[in-house]
Amino acid sequence: MSRAVSRLLFALLFTAACAAPAPAQREGNPFPLRRTITGQVRFAQGGAPAENIIVRLERLSGGYVGEERTDRLGKFRFTGLVAEQYVVSVRMPGYREVRRQVQLETNPSDYLQLQLAPEKADGAAPAPDARGRTRDANVPAEAYDELEKGRAALLNGKKVDEALPHLEKAVSIYPRFFEAQLLLGTVYMDAGRWEQSAAALGRAREINPKSAAALFALGEVYRRQKKYEEAERVLNEGLAVDEKSAAGHYTLGRVYWDRGDYLKAGPRVGRALQLKPDFAEAHLLAGNILLRARQGENALTEFQEYLRLAPEGEFAAQARQMVEKIKKALSEKNK
């Protein structure tokens, strides 16, 4: 993490007239060593990877930390953890709950292999599909088929116009189909259809009020619509569910920046970069915030980091222009 990023968590809480930070903030690294839990979930029968399964993380002493969904290989990852004891758990209809205790007080990381065994003694359990996922029995098979067709269109060249009719049909068949509503909302977002995106994501939120993904996506839509109060509210709801989301903190920082409140934007962007140091867009926003706070040298560092991470990024040309302007201004100042 760059020097500017660590300062970002503190510097923008003060105006230029305020006193310098206390020595304890300036000396050494203000952040403790962050730790990681990774692992994989498989079905005990056959050993197929369990894709799209929620893995929950809690502190052993009590308190929700966050949750992750497994990828197509059944893998999950929790990062940015502090040195304490945790409990990792997986719950799934038809299978026994799996709980594992993880001790990170002395180890910087741990890797878990979790197996889902049938709940019934005869071994009967909901059968996973070809990709290792267990379907919700309430969702009609036809709705699942439409969801998969929509996903396939997106994976095959991100064909939004081809995907939308399938996703719309999936939710018309079964309106409480959470996965389809969430994906439909994000596809509408990609197409710039903000009202329809907000409606679909709102339905996803109603179905699963604790889905951080739905809350963060809805917050971004509200931001694009300049509904800043609504965006702030749902993003804070999402961060209450998943405080470790770099995207959640970044989006809330964008809301504050768009609203002109860079004193609130700075700590949010700093937190996003603490959780995800290679977050290119967050470095770009950090540069803008630091420039607004008259910290030219630190802003320069952040713009250069954005260009290192995204040399062909959407705002690369503007970032290069800003780098040259700051260098010129600093050179003239030092003459």
Note whether 176 and 288 are same-domain residues: yes
Give the residue-averaged pLDDT of 213-230: 95
| Greatest mean pLDDT range, 69-73, 74-78, 109-113, 232-236 | 232-236
| Other beta carbons within 10 Å of 28 | 7
Do 141 and 53 belong together in one domain?
no
Q: Could you tell me the CATH number of the domain that includes residue 46?
A: 2.60.40.10
Do 209 and 327 belong to one domain? yes
Segments in 227-293 forming alpha helices (H): 228-241, 246-258, 262-275, 280-292
- Which range marks the domain in which residue 98 is found? 35-116
139 and 226 share one domain: yes
Least confident of 7-21, 64-78, 100-114, 128-142: 7-21
Residues 57 and 154 placed together within one structural domain of the fold: no
Give the pLDDT confidence of 59-93 residue by residue, as tens digits.
888 778 888 888 888 899 998 888 888 999 998 76
Number of separate domains in the chain: 2
> Using 50, 70 and 90 to split pLDDT, how confident is the model at 159?
confident
155 and 64 belong to one structural domain: no
Beta strands in 91-184 (DSSP E): 98-103, 109-116
The confidence band for 202, taking pLDDT boundaries of 50, 70 and 90, is very high
**Phi–psi pair at 116, nearest 5 degrees:** -95, 115
- State whether 259 and 291 are in the same domain: yes
Quickly tell me which residue has 């719950």 as its tokens: 91
- 87 shares its domain with 168: no
The average pLDDT across 275-296 equals: 92
CB 100, CB 114: distance < 8 Å = yes
106, 164: one domain: no
CATH number for 179: 1.25.40.10
Which of these three, 116, 148, 178, is where a domain ends? 116
Q: Is 129 within the bounds of a domain? A: no
Is the model's pLDDT at 218 over the cut of 90? yes
Instruction: Say yes or no: 213 and 92 in one domain.
Output: no
Clarify whether residues 259 and 179 are in a common domain: yes
281-291, pLDDT tens digit by residue? 999 999 999 99
Q: In 3D, which of 84, 4, 70, 82 has the Cα closest to residue 39?
A: 70
Residue 248 has pLDDT above 70, yes or no: yes
Q: Which residues in 91-168 belong to E strands, given as ranges?
A: 98-103, 109-116
Q: Model confidence at 121, in pLDDT bands (50, 70, 90)?
A: low
Residue 110 corresponds to which amino acid? Answer: D
d(CA 102, CA 90): 14
Strand pairing category for 54-59 and 85-90: antiparallel
Given a cut of 50, is residue 3 above it in pLDDT?
A: no
Residue 313 belongs to some domain of the structure: yes
CA 114 – CA 102 distance, rounded (Å)? 13
Q: Does residue 261 fall inside a structural domain?
A: yes
Band of pLDDT at residue 29, cut at 50, 70 and 90: very low
Which residue type, as a one-letter code, is found at position 299? Answer: A
| Same domain as 11, residue 53 | no
pLDDT at 18 > cutoff 50 = no
- CA dist 264 to 38, 267, 316, Å? 32, 6, 25
